[in-house]
Amino acid sequence: MNQLYRGWRFLQDRIFGTLAAVTLFCATLLAVIEIFRRYLFGQTFYWGQDAVTYFLIAATFLYFGTAQAQRTHLAVTVLPEWLMRSGRVRFAFAVRAAASLLGALFALAFIWWGLPAAERTMRIGRMTESMIIPLWPFQYVLLVGIASLGVTLLFQFYRDFLLALTGRDPFPWDTPHDDFEL
């Protein structure tokens, strides 16, 4: 399981993370070019706003799993933190494990219903407002991002479940899970 998790983190951090960063950089560069074109030359690419918007969103989608792996994704941590501070550390990890499992189930449901929607968008040829960029690639990127998030949540469920049950961290080499010791 340790090797599988290391491979997953490499895929997320090095491949998805780098791809998200390059996409974000290119979208930002296009936005800056559009600003100069608009104010210096009085013209823009009519598809520029769509491209910037959708590529920024795609970069965000790709980074979902990486952010979750670093536990920097959006999370409500009031209950686990309160439990840890009050000395019920194992129960806090059990709560986090349950939240991770629910998140993974949500990701599975999202993909279950999102895949037919993306296929339908591709089949009918739906485009952005500029009518030059197809929408389906962005929907598939969203599904990849949610799938990445779901797999990460499953690994976190495994980690937090073992921490709650045995007090043993299966991935001690990874970023510290908390400032609390069991």
pLDDT, tens digit, for every residue of 116-160?
999 999 999 999 988 899 999 999 999 999 999 999 999 999 988
User: Cα torsion for 74, 75, 76, 80, to the nearest 10°?
Assistant: -160
Residue 104 structure tokens: 């993974």
pLDDT-based confidence at residue 175 (cuts at 50, 70, 90): low
Query: Is residue 87 classed exposed, middle or buried when 0-12, 13-18 and 19+ CB atoms within 10 A define those classes?
Result: exposed
Residue 9 structure tokens: 């983190």
Q: Which of 8-22, 71-85, 164-178 has the highest mean pLDDT?
A: 8-22
| 110: pLDDT strictly greater than 80 | yes
Residue 120 structure tokens: 């339908």
Q: Which of 17-21, 94-98, 174-178 has the highest mean pLDDT?
A: 17-21
Residue 97 structure tokens: 């494990």
Q: How far apart are CA 155 and CA 137, in angstroms?
A: 27
Q: How far apart are CA 56 and CA 109, in angstroms?
A: 24
Averaged confidence pLDDT in the chain: 90
Q: How far apart are CA 60 and CA 180, in angstroms?
A: 30
Residue with tokens 């499992």: 101
Look at residue 172 in the predicted model and tell me its pLDDT: 79
The percentage of residues in the chain with a pLDDT greater than 70, rounded to a whole number, is 96
